[in-house]
A and B are shown apart, each in its own frame.
Chain A
């Protein structure tokens, strides 16, 4: 019964998104009444230090935190304006229940919780435990991520829990684990300026990880060469020494082609390979056919670019390789990352100052969120849910029989497919907006409308929350405390700045109370997030991501601590793999050969253009937060379809004109942005908007066989000129999915 209970315009009218443009208390400040709270940004994986200005339990502004070592006061526009989420008119302050034909009405906590519990019981008794699923998020603190995993396995005993990190870090994580044995950026960011060559593949650093820019520019001041692989000339690519406008899906050919040349010209470290790695011969055999011409055809770039990049990277004394979703959001995302990591290991330039590798984590707790056991195949401490030893250890920590812990469940996309085909009937979600963020949006929204019962925990009513039967008002980052783990593997502390407004509650309290009502009170009786952390660090003990030696006090005193930190006196581990010691039991890095294969949907006569998707600097993920902040909407109000003038000319489209972008699955109408900075065979649309402006209406539900990441970065579309739409969605505000 989770179909929309009212029209979208009515739901928007009552619950937003509404733009919030003036801070609480107006623009005039009363500094004498304010206190500064040192905490971190709630948005991306950089987790910049920031001081929030708090007056009378209201966040009224910010002050740069210049002594926090990662960002030294620097912020992107999202960080500057994040405080405008507080005192927001759309903020949920009471539980809501769905009323057929009338949208939502407020409800007291007790009946709301009773309803949730009775529906969980009804569905699990009738259809089995696994018929009730959990979808969580990688913007949750470590403590909440840990709690979600435990809640699913202990209180619900469902196998089906997964998280939106499935759309983010899983390809990079799987590849790192396979080659290095550990899923974490190998180096702290302070190694970047010390590298002489930096290769960035598929990362629009300037817009998605802006703080990393200064590290890159600093490397260049020190004489480094910068190489960028991207179908678009992004702001960071403009000043690169070598920009390779690779065709979406063609990256692996460039990596294999580089290794081909490196072997040929003797630019590999044979001694390092012999001592610290295994499996190189198979890789050498595989890349033998990746001559510059062969690789160039796949990558869609001139062959001499591949020679040039090998000549820059191959003989470098020190180097750093970074990649992000551009190479990871593919049905061969893991293999793309493996090909990139093979280059790092073959050069032997890893585990030393100025020599390293990193994946640029997207979500706020993209790193920690994937370690604490909220992935369908994982238990805390990055443990494997199918490993009997791992299960036994966690069962001991939780005080439950090992056999009561479910086995591996479905990952996000198959989980939504199981909802669609009726195998999953109930859902609890937090920190996840699948109606905007998952591929094939029409299918996803159809699935949500088929649920028998859906409870959504959030601070704003998201586009997914509109399908809920019960909405429970949770907490913003600044309304609770806890730790996150940043892009470097640095565990940091978020401080509570204000209390949740109205009857909204801290998320962990809601979860613990639900677990209690489900009969598991004794296992969820924490007095604070700090107590959850104390259990988490024990649960992680001996695991790959070992937090055992950390405490909130140590994290605070040290401006964050890097895992693994196995003992209380241990200083933490900023740089992994020192001395060529890798994370596998044999201490070696394991090379893996990878072959290029086509994407799930290649352009053809009917749908001849490649659509690729991504982010813009002023918005974050599904836009639930940033589409509610006036200043960020002013900066980038609505999605536009970036296309090259040559393509625009073929289509008869002019800059700013309306275009219909359609795939086999769905369509959007947006304005065109005609620019020479993109490949003529590819268009780009950012994905932060909902409904008829959602790029994910077009994207494909194809996933990587290992990581299960969706193929957001390539699908086939056709584009035509169209008129300005005037339907009821089109005339909504742009923040709600309208178009101007």
Chain B
């Protein structure tokens, strides 16, 4: 069997938090959940989005670490900080384009998703992708994902001018070949806002 990869499909997420609960069952950090499940804006929508560490090919978190505490294993998995080296500067926390690492004062180190290294390094699925009931998180082969999904997996990103390539893939529509995250206007003018797509009152009104 060819190598299995990690795929995120945000459109499938149902916000159930099975990933959050199962993450805390991984033996490398049992009792502490590392995955982020973002509720986008509950007033407007039920949309949620899971965020694991994307395991960058050239991880910014490791590059900015003054203590050289963040290591990538030969199989491309970026680990939590090495506790004896971590100086709690939080450079990694502020530099990660995906907002993944967190400094955990309780454990005196930066901790983050390590793709359940105790499991994935021995051929098991990471906990979150094993349990995810919606398939928003999937750990499988490239062939399998291409065979079963309409969208395509991409792992190239641009953040402004910064180009990032990640070990983890996200599912996007077929016409997309990379994810461009440009600077966004934090407070758009009301006219620039799209019509509220999930307002049930509007649905009942507009067409009547």
Spell out A's residues near B (CB within 8 Å): 22, 27-29, 61-62, 64, 66, 71, 73-77, 79-81, 206-207, 210-211, 213-214, 217-218, 220-221, 223, 232-239, 243, 245, 300-302, 304-305, 617-618, 631-632, 635, 644-646, 655, 673-680
Contact = CB atoms under 8 A, between A and B. Distances in A.
A80 B24 CA distance: 10
Given A74-B132, A233-B45, A238-B46, 6 more contacts: A80-B22, A210-B134, A213-B133, A235-B14, A655-B43, A679-B200
Contact of B134 (A214, A234, A644, A677): A214
Nearest to A676: B199
B191 interface: no
B159 interface: no
B16 A76 contact: yes
B97 interface: no
Contacts of A75: 18, 22, 131, 133
Contacts of A675: 42-44
B196 A676 contact: yes
Nearest to A28: B30
A645 B43 contact: yes
A233 B198 contact: yes
Contact of B200 (A29, A618, A676): A676
B36 to A, nearest CB: 15
Given A631-B24, A677-B45, A73 B198 contact: no
B135 interface: yes
A213 B134 contact: yes
Nearest to A216: B134
B25 A235 contact: no
A220 B150 CA distance: 9
A199 to B, nearest CB: 18
Interface string B132-158: 111100000000000011100000000
Given A235-B14, A304-B207, A211 B46 contact: no
A618 B17 contact: yes
A655 B43 CA distance: 9
Contact of B44 (A76, A214, A676): A676
Contact of B131 (A80, A232, A302, A655): A80
A61 B25 CA distance: 8
Interface string B39-76: 00011111110000000000000000000000000000
A237 B15 CA distance: 13
Contact of B17 (A74, A234, A635): A635
B43 A676 contact: yes
Nearest to B130: A64
A62 B130 CA distance: 12
Contacts of A22: 31
A232 B148 CA distance: 30
A443 to B, nearest CB: 33
A265 B134 CA distance: 36
Q: Which 9 A-B pairs have the closest CB atoms?
A: A206-B14, A27-B31, A235-B14, A302-B207, A210-B133, A676-B199, A64-B130, A80-B21, A213-B134
Interface of B: 11-18, 20-22, 24-25, 27, 30-31, 42-48, 125, 127, 130-135, 148-150, 196, 198-201, 203-204, 206-208
Contacts of B15: 206, 235, 617
14 contacts: A74-B18, A76-B131, A214-B134, A217-B135, A233-B46, A235-B48, A238-B46, A238-B47, A300-B204, A635-B20, A675-B42, A676-B199, A677-B46, A678-B200
A239 B14 CA distance: 10
A646 to B, nearest CB: 6
A77 B20 contact: yes
Contacts of A617: 15-17
Which among A71, A73, A80 has the greatest number of chain B C-beta atoms within 10 A? A80
A194 to B, nearest CB: 13
A62 to B, nearest CB: 7
Contact of B21 (A27, A305, A631): A631
Contact of A210 (B16, B148, B201, B204): B16
Contact of A677 (B16, B21, B198): B198
Contacts, number: 146
B130 A210 contact: no
A652 to B, nearest CB: 17
Contacts of A618: 17
A213 B14 contact: yes
Nearest to B29: A27
Contacts of A232: 200
B204 A301 contact: yes
Contacts of B17: 77, 617-618, 635
A142 B31 CA distance: 35
A207 B43 contact: no
Contacts of A243: 203
Contacts of A81: 21
Contacts of B199: 676
A73 B130 contact: yes
Nearest to A81: B21
Contacts of B11: 239
A206 B201 contact: no
A211 B133 contact: yes
B44 to A, nearest CB: 6
A66 B125 contact: yes
Given A676-B199, A676-B201, A302 B208 contact: yes
A678 B203 CA distance: 11
A80 B20 CA distance: 10
B8 to A, nearest CB: 14
Contacts of B127: 64
B12 A646 contact: no
A372 B36 CA distance: 44
Contacts of B16: 76-77, 206-207, 210, 235, 617
A636 to B, nearest CB: 9
B201 A679 contact: yes
A64 B207 CA distance: 46
A677 B133 CA distance: 22
Contacts of B18: 74-77, 79-80, 210
Contacts of A238: 45-47, 198
Contact of A218 (B42, B46, B148, B208): B148
Contacts of A676: 43-45, 196, 198-201
- The CB with the most chain B CB atoms within 10 A, among A66, A210, A300, A676, is that of A676
A618 B21 CA distance: 10
Contacts of A237: 46
Contacts of B13: 235
A571 B152 CA distance: 39
Contacts of B201: 644, 646, 676, 679-680
Contacts of A680: 200-201, 204
A207 B204 CA distance: 24
Contact of B135 (A218, A223, A655): A218
Contacts of A28: 30
A217 B135 CA distance: 8
Nearest to B48: A235
B42 to A, nearest CB: 6
B47 A221 contact: no
A236 B11 CA distance: 10
A720 B25 CA distance: 42
A631 B149 CA distance: 33
Contacts of A221: 148-150
Contacts of B198: 233, 238, 676-677
Nearest to A636: B17
A679 B204 contact: yes
B46 A234 contact: yes
Contacts of B207: 302, 304-305
A241 to B, nearest CB: 13
Contact of A73 (B25, B31, B125): B125
Nearest to A629: B21
A728 to B, nearest CB: 32
Contacts of B133: 71, 74-76, 210-211, 213-214
A235 B47 CA distance: 7
A675 B199 CA distance: 8
